[in-house]
A and B are shown apart, each in its own frame.
Chain A
Amino acid sequence: MMDENFYREQILDHYKSPRNRGELDPHDATAEGQNPLCGDEITVDLRLTDDERIEAVRFRGQGCAISQAAMSMLSEEIEGKPAVEVAALGREDVVELLGIQLSPVRLKCALLGLGVVKVALNSSVGTPLPEGFEGLDEVTWT
């Protein structure tokens, strides 16, 4: 299933030198997410134009090369695009960006960034949430 191309040059390059890493202050939308399987974490800030295009993206987080490289590639891909178009991206788009075959477990790593971007857009301009998103069922205590 996995070959030596799995960690192909471009993925390692994005992982080692992530594009658009950091924070945006001020920003129009922000969201964070985790992948409990690998412990990947990603937080995304977005700035939007008046006609709801992605003007700027910054992300921060930690995790496996696949999750972080996919977010880095995605950040370049979505800059300048209308929010509705970004919210319509799917798993095949992320797989195409990465250019490798992914097992279901690793697919969750790859899709984390796109999911966080969609949650941020949803909170700001009301575009659809990621497929299967159920919200977090949370319990707190003191």
Chain B
Amino acid sequence: MKVAPASQTLDVIKLRADFPILAREINGYPLAYLDSAASAQTPRQVLDAMNHVYEHHYANVHRGVYTIAAEATDAYEAARDTVARFVNAASRRECIFVRNATEGLNLVAYSYGSANCGPGDVIVCSEMEHHSNMVPWQLLASRTGASLRYIGVTDDGRLDLDQLAAIEREGRVRLVAIVHQSNTLGTLNPVREICDWAHARDAVVVVDGAQSAPHRPVDVQALGCDFFAFSGHKLPGPSGAGALWGREELLKDMPPFMSGGEMIQSVELEKTSFNALPWKFEAGTPAIVECVGLGASIDYLEAIGMEAIAAHEAEITAYACERLAAVEGLSILGPPAADRGGVVSFTFAAAHPHDVAQIVDRRGVCVRAGHHCTQPLMKRFGVPATTRASFYLYTVPEEIDRLCDGLEDVRELFA
């Protein structure tokens, strides 16, 4: 057996101690959590930050005059400043708290999309999109009469950008929605190049950053996109809180998405005016404590360093690709390790992915099986489903080894 490399970049063993759940045993084995692409685990520091709000500062935000209401508001708005710094926004007014990336993408589709797309316009997304960055655009097209065109995927799991030439002949390109890092293939897409292409045609670019923001440095200004959405629970943070970044000049002119309390300036029976950015897009009581937790998870990541996290995951991904590729009957979808994030999807001749996931769980290994909310991509590769292992700052080589041991169990059982 190969000897697993020691991480050159992070003190992973020390970091693992921050995550209480990693002390769990499953079926007599330590938990090997290889499903961070679905949802990441949460460190003690983030849990403590959220508990601290509930125990000392909890009240509804924005309206209260009393001391703890002002403190809760300060904590919530400080988390917004943290998000702004995390993605390098030009202003905190550009950062809107949402439930998750899905809600952020829907906000853009309903608010910007409905106001700016119509017959003769072309909306572009790709065959590798998660359903959350595909279905909102399908609905937008059917609502507005715009047409929707897809960038295809090459055999090695990259966007086939040569197809853009044919796509733009079909009408006026208004909006391009693209995933930064594929949740199924791990492919890192050339967002900057796509933005340059789209902006040369006066189209805006919406980036699904759910899989990139937790794992590598993100600078929305350097990427050149117009909207960028991510989820808190794919960082080491809570579910229920995420963020949408958008260019202020676009957000300013967009109609509200959800409506109700907090997003208003004044309400009369015949006319209503709306609050300033970013609150115009935050109707109702937000996920106050979860947003504070999202801020705390960013603080946690930044204390480690996004570059160091990305470097650790690159090491682990290279190791996983090497070990898995050596398993007989296993084939990996997507590009070489060097061109992907910490996600490896594969098929295994011995058994269906659901059976694989069930059997490796006997060794405490958590992997996902299914279509990963990318059914068109499964169809593209002619597979009904894949098994997916995904990694984070706390992943160690021993967990990959145990996955491989589990795959041998599968082979024996189905022989």
The residues of A with any CB-CB pair to B shorter than 8 Å are: 1-2, 34, 36-38, 103-106, 132, 134, 136-142
Contacts and interface: CB of A to CB of B under 8 A. Distances in A.
A40 to B, nearest CB: 11
Which of B64, B65, B271, B277: most chain A Cβ within 10 A?
B65
B252 A134 contact: yes
**Interface secondary structure of A, over-half rule:** loop
Nearest to A108: B62
B273 A138 contact: yes
Given A105-B70, A141-B270, A142-B270, A136 B265 contact: yes
Contacts of A136: 265, 273-274
B159 to A, nearest CB: 36
B280 interface: yes
Given A36-B265, A36-B266, A103-B70, A138 B65 contact: no
A104 B73 contact: yes
A104 B70 contact: yes
12 contacts: A1-B70, A36-B266, A38-B65, A103-B70, A105-B69, A105-B73, A132-B276, A134-B276, A136-B265, A137-B274, A138-B272, A139-B274
Size band of the interface chain B makes with A: 20 to 34
Given A34-B266, A104-B70, A137 B280 contact: yes
A137 B64 contact: no
Contacts of B70: 1, 103-105
Interface of B: 62-65, 67, 69-70, 73-74, 252, 255, 264-266, 270-277, 280
Nearest to B267: A36
Contacts of B74: 104
Contacts of B67: 1-2
Which applies to chain B's interface (DSSP): helix, strand, loop or mixed? mixed
B276 A140 contact: no
Residue of A105, A134, A137, A139 with most partner-chain B CB within 10 A = A137
B271 A36 contact: no
Contacts of B64: 105
A105 B65 CA distance: 7
Given A105-B63, A140-B270, 4 more contacts: A36-B275, A132-B276, A136-B274, A138-B272
A140 B271 contact: yes
Contacts of A2: 67
Given A34-B266, A104-B70, A105-B70, A141 B280 contact: no
B99 to A, nearest CB: 23
A16 B270 CA distance: 33
Nearest to B277: A134
A52 to B, nearest CB: 29
